[in-house]
Chain A
Amino acid sequence: MNDRFNLYRFASPATFYPLAGKMIPWFVAAGILFGLAGLYVGMLVAPTDFQQGEGYRIIFIHVPTSWMSMFIYLVMAFWAAIGLAFNTRLSGMMAQALAPTGALMAFLSLWTGALWGKPMWGTWWVWDARLTSELILLFLYIGYMALVAAIDDARRADKAGGILLLVGVVNIPIIYFSVKWWNTLHQGSSVNLTKSAMAEVMLWGMLLMALAFWMYSIAVALARVRTILLERERHTEWVRKELAGGEQ
C-alpha cells in the first residue's frame, strides 16, 4: 500500500519537479564517469581488431547510440501506454522530453554507421537492413515530434502523440523484418557484415559507453521535462512559488 502511495506521489508534478532537479547532477556525474571509463577501455586499452584494424573503434559509439535510439523509442511507447491507460499528466511530458534525444541518437547511429561503412565497405551508405531500419526509426521520431509540435493543446498533443507511438511500436518489428527480408533479396554478396568474435575488453568498453549514453539520455530528458513541467503547470501554485523563489 505504501509503495502505491509513493508512486502516486512521484507522479505528481509538484513532487517530481524538485526530485528531477536533484537527480540530474547524479546522472551527469555517472554519465561522465562511465564515459571516461568507456573511452579509456575502448580507446586506450583495447587492442586492434584483426579484421577491421583501428576503424572498428567506431563501434564504441555506433552500437551504444543504436541501442539507445531503439531503447528510447520503447521507453516513449511505454510512457504513452501508461499515459493513455491511466491518464497521468507526467507520462506524456516524459515521452516528449525523450523524443529529441532519441532522434539525436538515431542520427548519431546513422552518422557513425556511414563513417564506419566508408572504410569497411567502401561506401558511405549501404541499404543494409539495420541501417535502413535505423533511418526509418529516425523518420518515426521526426513524425512524432512534428505531430506534437503541431498540436497547440497540450493534453491533445500528449494523447495523439501517444497513439502514434503505440502504432509505431507495433509497426517497428514489421518494418524491421520486411526491410531485412527485402535486403536479403536485393543484397549482393559483396558486403559482408559478419563481425569477428569480440575480445572481452572490447565488450567491456562497449558496455561502459552504453551506460554513459544511457545516463546522458536520462539527464537530458529530465532537464527537458522540468522545463515542460513549468510551462504546462504555469497556473498552479507550486510553479508560482518556484518562479518567485529566485529560480533562474
Chain B
Amino acid sequence: MLDIVFSVIARDLKLAMRRQADIVSALFFFVIVVSLFPLGIGPEVDLLRQLAPGVLWVAALLATMLSLPRLFADDHRDGTLEQLALSPHPLGLVVTGKVIAHWLVSGLPLALIAPVLGIQFDLAGDALLVLTGAILLGTPALSGIGAIGAALTLGLRGGGVLLSLLVLPLYIPVLIFGAGAVDATVSGLGGEGHLSLLAAMTIAAIGFAPWASAAALKIALE
C-alpha cells in the first residue's frame, strides 16, 4: 500500500529535478524577503535578533505558497491527475506522496538555508538549532494544509492569489508555534514544548490533509 506513496514521491522528485530553477527561485525569494527586513527596519542588532524568528517564519510561509499552485496544476493539465484518480489506489495516498515530495523540494531547502539567514540576524547557536528544527518540523504541515488549498483552487482563474487567501489564515498556528519555539529558546525558557506541538500539527496535517485534498480534487475533476 505504501508503494504508491513512494512511487509518487520518486516521480515528483524526478519531475522537480528537471525544473531545478523553480526550487532555486523559491529559495532565493525566501533569502531576499528575509534580507529586506533589516533594510526596512534598521540595523540595530538587538531589534533584529528579536524579530528574526517571526521574519524567517513569515518568509517561509510565503516561500511555501509560491510553489503550491503548481502542486496539482501540471498533472491536471496533462491528464495524469485523472489517471491517478481512476487508479485503484486511494487518491489520499497519492496526495500524501505529492505532499511529501513538495516538502522535500520546498520546506527542506528552507530549513537548510535558515541557519545562514539566522546568522545575519545575529541569532545565537542554540537559537539557530531550534530555528532549523522548527522549520524542519513545521514546514510539512504547511505543505499538507497548502495541498487542500491547491486542490480547491485547481484550474480556477486567479488561483494563486485565491490560494494564499484560503491557506494563509490556516497557517497561523504553525507560525505562532514555529516562531514561539525560537523566542522561547532565546528567552531561556526552552523550546521543546513548542517543537512537540509543531510535530503534533505536522503529524495531524500529514494524516488528514491529503484526504481532504483528495476529496477536493475529486470535486475539481468531476
Direct contact of A and B (CB under 8 A): yes
Q: B219 near A163 (CB under 8 angstroms)?
A: yes
B129 beta carbon closer than 8 Å to chain A: no
Q: B173 near A140 (CB under 8 angstroms)?
A: no
A171–B166 Cα distance when bound, in Å, is 12
Contact residue among A146, A156, A181 (Cβ-Cβ distance under 8 Å from B176): A181
CB nearest to B167 among chain A residues: A143
By a CB distance below 8 angstroms, the chain B residues around A197 are: none
A156–B180 Cα distance when bound, in Å, is 39
B212 beta carbon closer than 8 Å to chain A: yes
Q: B148 near A143 (CB under 8 angstroms)?
A: no
Q: A163 near B173 (CB under 8 angstroms)?
A: no
A174–B182 Cα distance when bound, in Å, is 20
Query: Interface size bucket, B side?
Result: 20 to 34
By a CB distance below 8 angstroms, the chain B residues around A166 are: 212
Q: A163 near B165 (CB under 8 angstroms)?
A: no
CB nearest to B208 among chain A residues: A170
A146–B157 Cα distance when bound, in Å, is 11
A140–B216 Cα distance when bound, in Å, is 17
Residue of B153, B172, B216 with most chain A CB atoms under a 10 A cut-off: B172
Q: B153 near A182 (CB under 8 angstroms)?
A: no
Q: B172 near A156 (CB under 8 angstroms)?
A: no
Q: B180 near A182 (CB under 8 angstroms)?
A: yes
B86 beta carbon closer than 8 Å to chain A: no
Contact residue among A139, A143, A159, A178 (Cβ-Cβ distance under 8 Å from B177): A178
A/B interface sample: 28 pairs, CB < 8 A: A136-B169, A136-B172, A139-B165, A139-B169, A143-B169, A147-B162, A147-B165, A147-B166, A150-B156, A150-B157, A150-B159, A151-B156, A156-B220, A160-B216, A163-B148, A163-B212, A163-B215, A163-B216, A163-B219, A167-B170, A170-B208, A171-B173, A175-B169, A175-B170, A178-B172, A178-B176, A181-B176, A182-B176
Please provide the 9 A-B residue pairs with the shortest distance between their CB atoms, ordered closest to farther.
A178-B173, A139-B169, A143-B166, A159-B219, A182-B176, A178-B176, A150-B156, A143-B165, A160-B152
Taking Cβ atoms with an 8 Å cutoff, the residues of A that contact B are 84, 136, 139-140, 142-143, 146-147, 150-151, 155-156, 159-160, 163-164, 166-168, 170-171, 174-175, 178-179, 181-182, 185
